[in-house]
Amino acid sequence: MPALADTFSAFIARQAGARSARVIGFDKLSGGAIQDNFGLTLELEGGSRPGRQAFVVRQDAPSGVAESLSRPEEFQVLQAAFQAGVTAPEPLWLCEDTEVSGRVFYVMTRAPGSASPRKLVRADFTEDQRRHIVRRLGAELARLHMVRPPQESLAFLALPDPDNPALSRVALYRRYLEEIGDPHPVLEWALNWLEDHAPEPGPTVLCHCDFRTGNYMMDGAELTAVLDWEFAAWSDPCEDLGWLCCRSWRFGADDREVGGVGAKQDLLDGYREASGTGLDPAVVSYWEVMALVRWAMIALQQARRHMSGEQRSLELALTGRMVAEMESDLLNQIQEREDGL
């Protein structure tokens, strides 16, 4: 760790044109099951960012999952989101030279606060504060969704089927399931249901695709940064809202549909006010089902990283054990939708 801190600090000093960089603090950040994140605080002398500066270094992990972007691609997405006015860390420098640290990485600013989902869900917020937070989340997504193709800097992102992004996702997850090889009848049944009930598509926009409690920073009741952009893709705007409202991201607070924090109507209101466009709650609900299927696929892929020996990790192994819970949620949620139709 001390050697890695020196490596990163020397790189930052060069990029910032600083005469020297003194390490104040360096630690591996919690979370980041797919990528490695390090917090680095430096005292920089001279250059473009003099004084005490807090950074996050995001580096390739030993293995990855199929949906994840590369670090250079993620850096480009983060730049696009930051330029669109999303409350995201400022992307500073990308290093594709693996001789520097052994892996590709990039550096961004570090936001204050915590991303701990359980801390946020259990926080003693007033109803007005919860409403404020959830409406702010809706507004952040609205700003992100203003980024639309074509975008030269995001040419690496494949466009979904223009007739129906939902069916593109269904086809993708069928391929993932085939590659995994093990039988998962609930997931196969859910994919059939999603294919049969695909809604009319909305506009194709830049989606975060992992916008959930645990992937944004909060300082008290104020949002300070949206994190983890490695799954970004062109898709239907309702995909992001459905993912945020997915039962898996409520962390036990099931009555608060938006990430265990607040009400779905406040999310929709915040989105509409910022974008001028209303979204159909029924379509958002459809994408909540899609979110459960997708999260199950990612969990199975995470488990394979451990089981194959590619990256031994108790966290990865335990993620795979969560699939049964997602399958149970799928059975219940689809039944609730059928009863409500």
Q: So what's the pLDDT on residue 161?
A: 79
User: What is the per-residue pLDDT across 166-189, written as a single tens digit (0 to 9) for each?
Assistant: 999 999 999 999 988 888 999 999
Are 223 and 257 part of one and the same domain? Answer: yes
CA distance 237 to 245: 13
Last residue within a domain, chosen from 109, 141, 167: 109
CA distance 208 to 211: 6
Are 124 and 102 part of one and the same domain? Answer: no
Q: So what's the pLDDT on residue 239?
A: 97
Last residue within a domain, chosen from 80, 109, 138: 109
Residue 67's nearest CA partner among 335, 337, 326, 291 is 291
Read off the CATH number of the domain in which 80 is found: 3.30.200.20
* Better-predicted residue by pLDDT, 278 or 163: 278
Are 336 and 222 part of one and the same domain? Answer: yes
pLDDT band, very low/low/confident/very high, at 147 (cuts 50, 70, 90): very high
Are 203 and 86 part of one and the same domain? Answer: no
Mean pLDDT of the 242-269 span = 96
CA distance 331 to 98: 45
Q: Write out the two tokens for 181.
A: 């090889």
Residue 258 DSSP symbol: B
User: What is the per-residue pLDDT across 6-58, written as a single tens digit (0 to 9) for each?
Assistant: 999 999 999 999 999 999 999 998 765 568 899 999 999 999 999 999 999 99
Are 77 and 152 part of one and the same domain? Answer: no
Read off the CATH number of the domain in which 189 is found: 3.90.1200.10
Last residue within a domain, chosen from 59, 87, 109: 109
Are 279 and 297 part of one and the same domain? Answer: yes
Are 44 and 151 part of one and the same domain? Answer: no
Where would I find the beta strands (DSSP E) of the chain?
A: 20-28, 35-45, 51-60, 91-95, 105-109, 205-207, 216-219, 222-226, 233-235
Task: Please measure the distance between the N-terminal and C-terminal CA atoms of the chain and give it in whole angstroms.
Answer: 56
Are 40 and 167 part of one and the same domain? Answer: no
Q: So what's the pLDDT on residue 320?
A: 65
User: What is the per-residue pLDDT across 85-96, written as a single tens digit (0 to 9) for each?
Assistant: 999 999 999 999
Are 158 and 85 part of one and the same domain? Answer: no
Whether the predicted pLDDT of 212 surpasses 90:
yes
Total Cβ atoms within 10 A of residue 239: 27
Are 52 and 160 part of one and the same domain? Answer: no
* Better-predicted residue by pLDDT, 163 or 268: 268
User: Is it true that the peptide bond before 199 is cis, omega within 30 degrees of 0?
Assistant: no
Are 56 and 203 part of one and the same domain? Answer: no
Are 176 and 36 part of one and the same domain? Answer: no
Domain count, the chain: 2
Sign of CA dihedral 107, 113, 116, 121: negative
Q: So what's the pLDDT on residue 13?
A: 97
Sheet with 20-28, strands from edge to edge, namely 20-28, 35-45, 51-60, 105-109, 91-95
Place of tokens 């992992």: 210
Q: What is the extent of the structural domain holding 194?
A: 117-340
